[in-house]
Amino acid sequence: MRKRLILIICLSLLSCLIVFSACNKGKNYQTKVYEYIPYYKSTTCNILKDKNIELHVENSVSNSKDEISDLINLMQDDYSTLTSVFNLDTQIKCYIIADEYILGNDKAVYQNEVLICNESAVKSGGYRKAFAGAYIQSTEYWKQYGAYAHAFNCEYSNEEIKEHYANDKDLELTLFSAYFIDDFNDNTDNAIKTAYSFSDFVINTYGYKNFINANLTDYRTEYLSFLGINRKFNIPFDLSWLDEAIYSQKFLSYPLVISTANRIYNLDAFSSKRETASFDTPERVLYHLSAGNAECAKILNYIKSNAPDSYDFVNQRYSDNLEYFVSDREIKTCCDVNNRKIYLLDPSEYVHETIHAVTLKSNPTDEAWIGEGVAEYLSRYVSKHISDINNRFYLSFTDKTLTGGIADFVNTVNTRYRKNGGKFDTLSEFDFALLAKCIGEITLKDSSYKSQIKFPYATTAICKIYACTSKDGNVLTYPESYAFTYYLIEKYGFNNVLKCCIDYNLADIFGSNYNVIMDEFMKSII
């Protein structure tokens, strides 16, 4: 009898345990866990896991299990709404942080495979766009807005959208992420409403999978037709370099970070005196980065055809990872070859600095001058891309208000430039590479200009700009190094000059030392 009673008690306890476990299936609570929140800080969190959501709440936000349970219940309701539409089974990791400032107006962001938001955003529902991004596992803002709107029935007017895109607004219709960021766009409402409408169109017409796999140009012509706009979608750039890109931000420093297979672009918005150096709109971001990618591809083909001995090296360097920092807060425009990082105060120097990264083995020492010469040759002479330096020099060398020594120098340069076929009729016809060559030849023939005028580009030696030696051509200015490099290319071929840039040895490649070759060059200047 006693054994039977004990057995009944044990079975009852086991049943209670099973029921309790079933009621708490998937739930797990931890307190005061010290951890690092990506791009935020290391802090102490309380963690609650429930079904598909793992919620990390910064201790300074709440250390109450009941309060944290209320938050995760709100998130579970939104998860159910999304599941009723998309039927996904996504694991979501969310951090709720105390800082109310760094996350922007939405107070929520999905990046690096985690959702980061404020408590107020969860309670108000303001986090839902980012939550939808976490649910569909997309960092593209247009898809986040689209999934959110499709599930939560956000309102929009196709008639208003049609009116907006009736004219030439195709670049905006790409829904590139910068269009949704206040730093780059004064009016993000158009992009948001377009994302609502366009996403509904794609999901309803082509299905969820095609929506999530769509790039920045897919289905746009069909969408214009759906709106009643009878024209094809057409943009001036190839955006294939953005296919499968991942988007994020670095809080309080770079509002847009784009990661591709082998590139990271840390981007800040800033304006300049000239549009050619401005980086303050989505259009200018797309222009500078797309042109940079396209021109680099063009230069790679040129190297393949004209410097076959070095192509494999250059192509491998170009295929390797590179990280770009574009901001007016950078110390200077330069390439850190050793660490594979490029810093751009001027976004139009993308091509020039990338050439350094792929044609040099390390940060230059003795070979700095020929490295600059090769970069100038490829980015100015071969590329023909109009950088801001083209614009600056076009304006400076057509300025009729100059006086004194600088006016005399400009007139001398212009005479030589025109004699060699140069034109000043328009910026597009202006040949900066030829002008730079003329400047270099003039200051080499008459070095007195360097002490008579205030013109750093034409008067400052490379060794005073670079952390390099003052050996060989490093005592030359930028235009002098370009003029000399151009001479070497004409005499010995680009194949040999690029080999010398990569493995610096004048005697082995050109058969003479620097002084002998320079003397020959000086004699050739007429």
Which domains, and CATH codes, for the chain? 24-137 (3.40.30), 146-246 (no CATH), 262-524 (no CATH)
Distance CA 331, CA 315 (A): 29
Residue 365 CB partners (closer than 8 Å, separation 6+):
468, 469
Q: Nearest 5°: phi and psi at 192?
A: -65, -50
Q: Coil, strand, or helix at residue 323?
A: strand
Distance CA 141, CA 266 (A): 17
Distance CA 193, CA 190 (A): 5
- Rg of the chain in Å (alpha carbons): 30
Q: Nearest 5°: phi and psi at 515?
A: -60, -40
pLDDT value at residue 466: 83
Question: How much of the chain, in percent, has pLDDT values that exceed 90?
Answer: 91
CB 357, CB 335: distance < 8 Å: yes
CB 106, CB 124: distance < 8 Å: no
pTM exceeding the 0.85 threshold for the entire prediction? yes
Distance CA 502, CA 500 (A): 5
CB 188, CB 204: distance < 8 Å: no
pLDDT value at residue 282: 98
Supply the angle between the helices 432-445 and 404-419 in degrees, to the nearest 10.
120
Residue 519 CB partners (closer than 8 Å, separation 6+):
none
Pairing of strands 322-326, 246-250: unpaired
- Angle at the Cα of 481 from the Cα atoms of 478 and 484, rounded to 5 degrees: 150
CB 384, CB 370: distance < 8 Å: no
pLDDT value at residue 100: 87
Q: Coil, strand, or helix at residue 344?
A: strand
Residue numbers in the chain where pLDDT is lower than 70: 1-27
Distance CA 408, CA 518 (A): 27
Tokens representing 269 are: 């918005």
